[in-house]
Every structure is written in structure tokens, then in C-alpha cells.
Chain A
Amino acid sequence: MGKRRKQRQRKRKAAVDRDVISRLPDEILCNILSFLPTRTSVATSVLSRRWRYLWKKVQALDLNDDFFYTPELSRNEAQERFLIFLKKFEPLLLPLPMRKFCLSCPVGQFGYTDLIGWIEHVIGRVSELYFSVRTDGQTYELYFRNLHSTSLVSLVLDGNIMIVVDFVPTPSESIFPSLKNLELHVIFNYVDLDLLLSGCPALETLRLTLIDFRLEAFHMPPSLKSLTFEEQYSDSEDVTLELLEVNTPSLEYLRLTLRGCYAEILVCDYPNIKRASLDISRKSGNIAWVPKLLRALCKTKFFWLQVSTIECLICAPVLDLPNFCNLIQLQLDFHIFQSSLLIDLLHSCPKLQALKIYISQFVDSISSGSYLKSRNGWTQPLSIPHCIVSHLNTVEHRGYLNSPEEHEFTAYILQRGLVLKTMTIHTKYSLESKSEIYEALSEIQRGSSMCRLEVN
């Protein structure tokens, strides 16, 4: 090897071998450490002299009950040591600046008051608070009267906590005026949830997982940009709620999983909506307003309609689909393949590029014979949906059962899809059936020369 080349190689190797990370300034290293659990950031104190006291400057605490975990201690012992340690932990006691506080641990009856004390102690000065508490089956109350904070920007509460908002905020007084992100996976006294939300005028992201939700009327804060609302019921009793108001003109992301029956929904136009996912169970009250919600979401780019929502659409007396002028990706979960609804939807999204169809109906090999001879619901559309000839380039079909209707639809797309690039079919059938399906579809003349067919 030439002398020059060796020199260059040695220089390059030396450059890479330098310990660059320790040369970063304190501020940046502390920022990095603030993203780690406190246990890890404390551990870095033994990395080298440079790192010895860095963890003390980190303005974040992320504590888990595995803080004292070592292979020698049992889980219970580690947890006990942790609770004792928290009582004496300096950063909690002193009024030091703290940006983020995350605490996740199990708690028995005696530990709970202490935990609430710490929450109340830090909430006034942190900007991010994450509190997850697993209790021994019992539900504990958390009173919001002491939890007013102007600095809080993000709040996540999770566990068997019952939150009680025991004062009514006046219009000029908000509980959390700076709060932008709120995530609640807790139990509520439901009257209070509406009160709490009305006290967060700057809220942008809201994620709610509520069990046994029984509020009469539920109003979303108008500043919202992202809403994820999921409700579950522990019993299958039919629950009817009066009103859901989603008057949020800045909405960009919507994900609804509704199991109850809502008598009415109030929506507005969502001009900025980008992604929407709807899982709304087919109850008589819901069927009436699902089309209205679809119309409000007409500007979305990505849309996912789950099985229950599709069933609502099928049952709707009048389906007045809006023009989804921006829609580029559509995912539809059918229980049973319905080509007529599918064609109607394709007519309403002229710029659609990707279509995903998931069929949840399962037909095993025993009954597949009779299934394949079943009624063919396919009728040739009077006019070709615009997206098929101009924009549609990807089609994915999962749970393909090779019914006559599915076959006709797939053939229709293959023949008329002028810009189609990939058609992927996933089927649970055996390998021989897969090649049969592949043969049958390959014979169809394709409208697009670059179309690739795949059967998995």
C-alpha cells in the first residue's frame, strides 16, 4: 500500500476513534439524558469522570418502580425501597427547575397519599407530567382543586384513578391555560371531564380511553388539532348518550372508536384534516349521523373506515357521499365484500392513489365450495370512477376469498387501471388455490403495462 494511502487511513481511523460524545457541552448532554429513564441517566455517572455529575443537572425525572431493581432483590423489595427512596429524593423536595416528571409505579393504600403529595408538589413548575399508577384493584381519587398549573404543557394520567374536578372554573380562570397535550386513560366522574376540558383553552392534542363512559353531552375544546377518543364498556348493556360535540375547525387528525349509541353529533367543517380513522358501532342512533361526519371529513388525505363504520354506511337510508378531493389513501375493512359501496366510494375520491381492502369474513376450506357459488353482487358500473384511470397505483386486498364478486371487481380494476403499479392479494387459502387465483387473474388483460400482480 502506498505511504500516502496508509497515512490517510490512519488519520481517518484516528478521527473515528475519538470520543466525540463527551466533548459535547453539558447542556446538550443533559438534554439527551432527559429523554432517558432516570435510572439510566444516573447509571451514566460511572461512564467516565466527565459524566459523573451530569445526571444531577438533568431537568427531568423519569421514575419507575424498577429503579432499585437488581437480580438479587425480589420485585416487592425493590418496590418498597423505591417508595422509601421517593420520600427523601432531593429533586422532589427542593424547588429546583424541572421540565419533565414521569412517575410510574404500583401503589397500595398507604403510598397513594404520598404520591398525590408529590404530584401536587411538582405540578406547579413542570411542563410535562406523566403519571401512571397501578393500584391493587381499588380506585383512588385525585382532586383537581390543587392541581392548577400555568406551566403545564403536557399531562398524561393512566391507571385506576378517579379524577374529581371539584370546582367550576370561571371563563377567566382556566385550570391548565398552557396545556397542549392531554392523555387520559383513567376513570372519571364524567360531569367533571367536560369541566376539565373547558378549562384547557389551548389544548391541541387529546387522547382519551374511557371505560363505561356515561356523560350526557360531551364537548371537545375548539382549539383541538388531534383527537383520539376511544370508549369501551365493561358490560354489553346498550348505552345511549345524548350529544357529542366536535366543533374543532383546526382538526388535523381524528380517530374515533365509539361503542355506545350517540343520539346526535355536532360537527363543523374540518378544512385542515389530514388523517381520519372511524370505528363507530352500528347502533340506530349512530347510523343517522355517520354520513354527516363523513361530509365534514371530506378534505382528508388518509381515511380508514373500520368494519362497524362500513356497516353503518350500508344501513344508512340515504348515502350522500361528499367529494373527497384530497384523499390519496383509503383503507376499508369489510366484514363481507360489498362491491357496490366500494364503487360508490371510489367515485367520490377522484385523486385516490392507494386502496386497501381488508375482509374480515372467514370462510374455511370446507364451506368455501358453496361460498364460491353464492350470489354474485357485482354489477358493472355505468361510468368508470375517475381515480381508477388517473391516479390509482396501488391496490391491496387482504382476506381475499375468491368469490365471484371479488374476482369481477379485481378484474375490473386490472383492466381499467391505466396507472396501476401493484395489485397485491393476500389470501388464507392453500398454495394450490393461490396459484389458481394467480392464473385466473393473470389471464386478464391489464390496462397498465407496468402493473405487477402478486398473490400471497
Chain B
Amino acid sequence: MELLCIRQWISGLLPTWLSAWCIKPVGGALVRQEPEYILLALMGSPLKKIMLCSSEKEIFSVEEQVMVQHSVIINNMIEDGSYNHEESKIPLDCVDSKTLKKVIDYCTHHTHHHNDNQEDLEAWDAQFLNVDSNGLYDLLMAANYLEIRNLLDLIYGTIKNMIKGKKIDEIRRIFNIKDHGFTPEEEEQNRKEYPHFY
């Protein structure tokens, strides 16, 4: 009973000409379309979502617009029509759930906070990259695979800063390069020739 009242009310909101045309083909016959769906369509489609599937088979739902803006790979998939909204999910076998969640987090934040202060965005980015080296490595591989330019540049910048201005011994410590693979003679030769690098 209540549903009928609501439907009548919604019908009242629609212009008459549209109410009259609320029909859709179903199984060869023309059926009256429920007005609430028409109203939703008039208001603008609800934010289209897509589904991303991690290597651990976990599914993440995210706004299509967010991923299309950031990831060249996903943008291409949707543009060339190989992605069907209702049914399929995009399988990302190279990205595990933890990393995928972080990537989605990054893209969503940057889309929604696009107009923020530069300092605020940079502070958020710094906090975002406060992960251990494994996490950073995973993020880098994921960003490279999905071709997310700004995340890639951000991570490149972070790693570059870990190298720039540092001595070789320090860099080895930061990156945990325990075994440099040189013979003891080679290592000694290097140290003698370029003492200022160490």
C-alpha cells in the first residue's frame, strides 16, 4: 500500500509527457517502467562503479570516474569496451589486496581533493607513502602495471631522495643491500678509486 503512494508521488514529480512514456520492452511486450527508476535516471545516473579483483580474488568496488582519471590501463579497458559494467570485474593478478586497497585510496583521494591546497595534498602524499620498503615496492609495481603517472612520479621521487646525496655505504644500509656481489678485490679497487663515493 505504501509503495503505491510513494510511486504516485514520484509520478507526480515527473512531467506528464514522461510519465506517459514510462514503458520498456520486456520479453516482446511493452511494460510500464517503474517511475522511481525514471526519476533516478533524470537525476543523473548514480556514480558508476567498477569492480577490481586482486590477485587474492578479493573484489573492490570503486567509482569508475576515479580509476579512469588515474590509470591509463583501466581507462583503455573501459574505452575500448572490453569491460562490461553489469557482469565483469577487472582482474588484476599482479596486485595483492593490501596494495590494491592503497592504490584505490590514492586515486580516490586525489580525485575528490583535486582542488585542495598544494601543501595539504603533499602532506597527505607523504603520509600515504609512510610504508616499509616491501609496501613501497608493491605500490611501485602496481602503479607501473596500472600506469598511474602521478603515483609513479611520487614514488620515484621518494626513492630518488633515498639515493641522492648519500654515500654508497649509507645507500646499501637504507636499501638492505647486504650482498653486493663484488669480489673482495673488486670492492677494494672501487673504494680506492672512488673514495669520495663511500
Contact = CB atoms under 8 A, between A and B. Distances in A.
A84 interface: no
B115 interface: yes
A40 B160 CA distance: 10
B113 interface: no
Nearest to B144: A28
Given A28-B144, A36-B163, A49 B137 contact: no
Contact of A47 (B115, B152, B160, B168): B168
Contacts of A49: 180-182
Contacts of B172: 47-48
Contacts, number: 81
B112 interface: no
Contact of B181 (A17, A35, A48, A301): A48
A20 B137 contact: yes
A15 B134 contact: yes
A74 interface: no
B183 to A, nearest CB: 10
Contacts of B132: 16
Contacts of B197: 43, 46
A215 to B, nearest CB: 32
B181 A18 contact: no
A23 interface: yes
Interface residues of B, number: 33
Contacts of B136: 20
B110 to A, nearest CB: 16
B84 interface: no
Contacts of B176: 16-20
A21 B168 contact: no
Contact of B157 (A24, A35, A37, A43): A35
Given A19-B175, A47-B172, A49-B180, A36 B194 contact: no
Contact of B137 (A21, A46, A71): A21
A40 B179 CA distance: 21
A380 interface: no
Given A19-B178, A49-B180, A50-B181, A44 B137 contact: no
A31 interface: yes
Contact of B160 (A15, A23, A36): A36
Nearest to A40: B164
Interface residues of A, number: 28
Interface in B142-198: 144, 152, 156-157, 159-160, 163-165, 168, 171-172, 175-182, 190, 194-197
A23 B196 CA distance: 27
A12 to B, nearest CB: 9
A255 to B, nearest CB: 14
Nearest to A71: B196
A16 B134 contact: yes
A319 interface: no
B140 interface: yes
Nearest to A44: B163
A44 B178 CA distance: 15
Interface in A1-41: 15-24, 28, 31-32, 35-37, 40
| Most chain B C-beta atoms within 10 Å of own C-beta, residue among A40, A70, A301 | A40
Given A49-B180, A49-B181, A40 B137 contact: no
Interface of B: 115, 132-134, 136-137, 140-141, 144, 152, 156-157, 159-160, 163-165, 168, 171-172, 175-182, 190, 194-197
Pick the 9 closest A-B CB pairs, nearest first: A49-B181, A48-B180, A20-B137, A35-B160, A21-B175, A46-B190, A19-B176, A43-B197, A70-B196
Interface of A: 15-24, 28, 31-32, 35-37, 40, 43-44, 46-50, 70-71, 274, 301
30 contacts: A16-B132, A16-B134, A18-B133, A19-B176, A19-B177, A19-B178, A20-B175, A21-B133, A21-B137, A21-B177, A22-B175, A24-B141, A28-B144, A31-B152, A35-B156, A35-B157, A36-B163, A36-B164, A43-B168, A43-B197, A44-B171, A46-B168, A46-B190, A46-B194, A47-B171, A47-B180, A49-B182, A50-B181, A70-B196, A71-B196
